[in-house]
A and B are shown apart, each in its own frame.
Chain A
């Protein structure tokens, strides 16, 4: 205790005047409180011994000390902050690009410090690895020490009980043995672990071992959570897939739009299953100030396990993923896919497909690109590619207003606006292409008669005729799509177990107080028994004196206070308080 009760100089200036007495008190408390906790003592000395081993030992002791653990803990919280202020690549790479453009000056520094990937950065990992090494180095020895304490007995009463933080005494006519026997049963009934002193004049009792146990459970649970986290990170897989209504998905690598495996994940281990999206329902707030806010999303799917499983129907909602063979299928987003058909100058249909558009706002104003890569031959008989940059709105405001913004996310008055290009889409260049964007560097825009870029806004079923008989484009229908995330992360059970352990352990560690009670009864010179009781807790607490008072009152019933013969000196201590 004495090592942990350091006080600031300001406190010390208000301290009791008798420093020597205070030191003596401290020493007494230290002896009586020995092993009341397994908290390590603070080590302020330098390295002992010479050479590498001495330094290593010193370094290890520092790392596993409370002070360094505290500093690391604090650093961890500070280190987590930048990642919330600067966009992170793993969350939103687009935002990172935007940030880089806006803060060009800082980019080299930020990149050097790995500020776009804070939680995977070398320095952040260093902090938490050090912290957890410290944690293990601290917790494992403490666990052994605690196991040792569990089999030990409470230490005997210190000589001067009145030096303990809570103390009481009275005189009684009951015999010392009797008092001690009563005390022992009383303490035992209150589930103290008791031990009679060898001399037979006192009883020592201790309670609240669960505090230490809780604390150790909590810290061990933290280790379990970290292990689960790392395990999950290394062996998980996660991928995204956009599925059109009526279309399917089967769980193989090539089917994914994007796939992010953990570094130790073996892609042959993808569990075989497949599903089709039968229907997608979305409803939106029809009126009021939050008009257009989404209310429900529901995807109806038919899935089958394994290569030839029996088809089963299921629904997937935002908070209700579908679990298949340990993998979870989450519903992430949804949108529209206008069905567009394109004919060449001869009238032959060269393209007919539902083209998913990417939502731009809450009312599902959506943008995308229609790319005709094969089969189109222009009027001159040359092979060419066509591209249309498209804007789609499910609810168009009306012909009068020129803006293409959707007024509502449902299909009340859909329009598709197209800009038409021809030339080379550049899809063969080997560079990865965004399917929602047109790369127009090798394309020419169709022009109308007056030389303006040719564009048109189509209602459902309308057709636009490309200039100079280059063909037609028809807005034939509208499909829906939904995006799914498919993932499996092992270790979730361990993480959950660790989390539950952490909360339970923490509650034990914070709400239970470990404390010792001593009762001493000796016959005074006049034959009347003097009973002394004292209590010592791990930390100062108002509960301890209350508990002691309660115990004393109960014991007092069996060993009633004897009438005072005449004023005496030795009961001075008990009255001192009355002045306070």
Chain B
């Protein structure tokens, strides 16, 4: 390597650091914009949940908006006829509650701030993504060699998944504030405690399996995180709905926040879908790791702490899916299982890398 190349790489690494700090600044602005969205939203009266839950009868919700079609009648007259409308019925016993209107709560100003927040999040994402890319270029390898690099990639992916869901027209804006807050936390920890200068890989990590195994692992974690956030909000919203349905009266702050969230059933379904969608990929990640271990250490499974906790996480998610799919363990109990599973994932990431040392002690901290 010539001195020139080294210098270029070091300046790229520096650029990466500036980009990461800049993305933190942008996310901070997004954070305040989200706060403004929630504050303005709190001034508009919503109260739809309460009305639905205290209504005398549980009317069945209709789904599927059918556009009207024009039909030419025999007598030359034109009649406007409806397409068939599909009526869907919730399972007996389920609460039939409409989703909340979102953080802006119907307030135009709130909505404006919400849009600003989302735009800032997009900007933050682009800047952070560039930061990760610059880091990768500075070392000419996958940017996943130590915990600092995992962390910045992790939050980039989490925001990316959120924005992708938004772009697909999914109703996920309620996630914005929680996500931006935790992304800031993650980046704060990464830059303050986990920072490692940009450098080459140790030989054990130098394999194409790094690309496959580590990128999917980080992606799974980021997506599981989105699911876990949905689950946690589900638990809050569920107790709120249960309280209302039982005739109780939740506090004003709780009401103001929770009535704007989607219905508990929606949140639950959202979290389930995310977790179920990621689980096969997580399975694949573990298998890819095992194949890599087989090449690197001669044993594809040796109960190294990292392997143990990946396994525990996997089994916990499998338990959750089982409970949801068959045992009818829906609702709160399944949600606790899902949170336990995610806690295992997080522990596997921070705890095992830093506190337990096995063969995966590449934490670089």
Listed in ascending order, the chain A residues whose CB lies under 8 Å from chain B are 3-8, 10-17, 22-23, 25-26, 39, 42, 66-67, 69-70, 73-74, 76-78, 80-81, 83-85, 88, 90-91, 118-119, 162-170, 229, 238, 285, 288-290, 293-297, 317-321, 328, 330, 332, 485, 487, 489, 492, 495-496, 499-500, 502-503, 506-507, 510-511, 531, 533, 539-540, 542, 544-546, 548-549, 552-553, 556, 560-561, 563, 573-574, 576-580
Contact = CB atoms under 8 A, between A and B. Distances in A.
Interface string B111-151: 00000000000000000000000000000000000000000
A576 to B, nearest CB: 6
A415 to B, nearest CB: 26
Contacts of A83: 303, 308
Contact of B92 (A10, A16, A290, A293): A16
Contacts of B81: 560-561, 563
B241 interface: yes
Contact of B298 (A164, A487, A539, A576): A487
Interface size class of B (residues with CB under 8 A): 35 or more
Contacts of A91: 302-304, 358
B257 interface: no
Contact of B356 (A84, A294, A317, A580): A84
Interface in B60-103: 60-64, 66, 69, 71, 73, 79, 81-95
Nearest to B95: A14
B331 A8 contact: yes
A457 B57 CA distance: 92
A84 B204 CA distance: 21
B91 A318 contact: no
B72 to A, nearest CB: 10
Contacts of B279: 506, 510
A168 B287 contact: no
A84 B332 contact: no
Interface stretch (B34-42, B152-160, B289-297): B289-297
A228 to B, nearest CB: 10
B93 A293 contact: no
A287 to B, nearest CB: 8
24 contacts: A5-B328, A8-B332, A11-B94, A13-B242, A22-B93, A26-B92, A39-B325, A39-B326, A78-B312, A81-B312, A84-B309, A91-B358, A288-B199, A290-B199, A293-B200, A297-B203, A318-B204, A319-B295, A503-B287, A546-B64, A552-B84, A556-B84, A577-B63, A577-B87
Nearest to A165: B89
Nearest to A552: B84
Question: Which of A7, A90, A485 has most B Cβ within 10 Å?
Answer: A7
A73 B311 CA distance: 11
Given A166-B88, A580-B60, A506 B283 contact: yes
Contacts of A548: 64, 86
A255 B66 CA distance: 79
A353 to B, nearest CB: 29
A577 B69 CA distance: 19
Contacts of B301: 229
Given A14-B241, A66-B326, A167-B86, 20 more contacts: A5-B328, A15-B94, A39-B326, A42-B327, A80-B315, A84-B308, A163-B89, A166-B89, A290-B196, A293-B200, A318-B296, A319-B206, A319-B209, A319-B296, A332-B297, A492-B300, A545-B88, A546-B64, A561-B83, A576-B87
B26 to A, nearest CB: 28
Contact of B312 (A80, A170, A332, A545): A80
A83 B276 CA distance: 28
A3 B280 CA distance: 27
Nearest to B324: A539
A503 B283 contact: yes
B329 to A, nearest CB: 8
Contacts of A77: 311-312, 315-316, 319, 344
The 10 closest A-B pairs by CB, nearest first: A577-B62, A77-B315, A22-B92, A14-B245, A549-B64, A84-B305, A7-B93, A84-B308, A319-B207, A318-B203
Given A13-B246, A74-B319, A576-B87, A4 B328 contact: yes
Interface in B253-302: 269, 276-277, 279-280, 283-284, 287, 290-292, 294-302
Given A8-B332, A552-B86, A66 B312 contact: no
A510 B197 contact: no
Contacts of A545: 63-64, 86, 88
Contacts of A577: 60-63, 85, 87
A30 B309 CA distance: 40
B315 A73 contact: yes
Contacts of A13: 242, 245-246
B85 A574 contact: yes
Contacts of B304: 91
B175 to A, nearest CB: 18
A2 B27 CA distance: 47
Given A167-B87, A319-B295, A499-B287, A294 B312 contact: no
Contacts of A510: 276-277, 279-280, 321
A6 B280 contact: no
A76 B308 CA distance: 11
Interface of B: 53, 57-64, 66, 69, 71, 73, 79, 81-95, 196-197, 199-204, 206-207, 209, 241-242, 245-246, 269, 276-277, 279-280, 283-284, 287, 290-292, 294-305, 308-309, 311-312, 315-316, 318-319, 321-323, 325-332, 344, 352, 356, 358
A22 B89 CA distance: 11
A371 B290 CA distance: 41
Contacts of A542: 63, 269
A284 to B, nearest CB: 10
B3 to A, nearest CB: 11
A549 B327 contact: no
A506 to B, nearest CB: 4
Contacts of B294: 492
A558 to B, nearest CB: 13
A192 to B, nearest CB: 17
B352 A84 contact: yes
A288 B303 CA distance: 34
A455 to B, nearest CB: 33
Contact of B197 (A39, A88, A289): A289
Contacts of A318: 203-204, 206, 296
Given A81-B312, A503-B280, A552-B84, A5 B303 contact: no
A14 B53 contact: yes
A11 B312 CA distance: 31
Contacts of B358: 84, 91
A67 B326 CA distance: 9
Contacts of A67: 327
A66 B322 contact: yes
A14 B242 contact: yes
A354 to B, nearest CB: 24
A165 B91 contact: yes
Question: Which of B53, B88, B206 has most A Cβ within 10 Å?
Answer: B88
Nearest to B206: A319
Contacts of A81: 308, 312
B327 to A, nearest CB: 5
B327 A70 contact: yes
Given A492-B294, A577-B87, A16 B280 contact: no
B295 A578 contact: no
A339 to B, nearest CB: 27
A553 B326 contact: no
A413 to B, nearest CB: 24
Contacts of A293: 199-200, 202
B304 to A, nearest CB: 7
B83 to A, nearest CB: 6
A70 B319 contact: yes
Contacts of B92: 5, 15-16, 22-23, 25-26
A445 to B, nearest CB: 36
Nearest to A500: B287
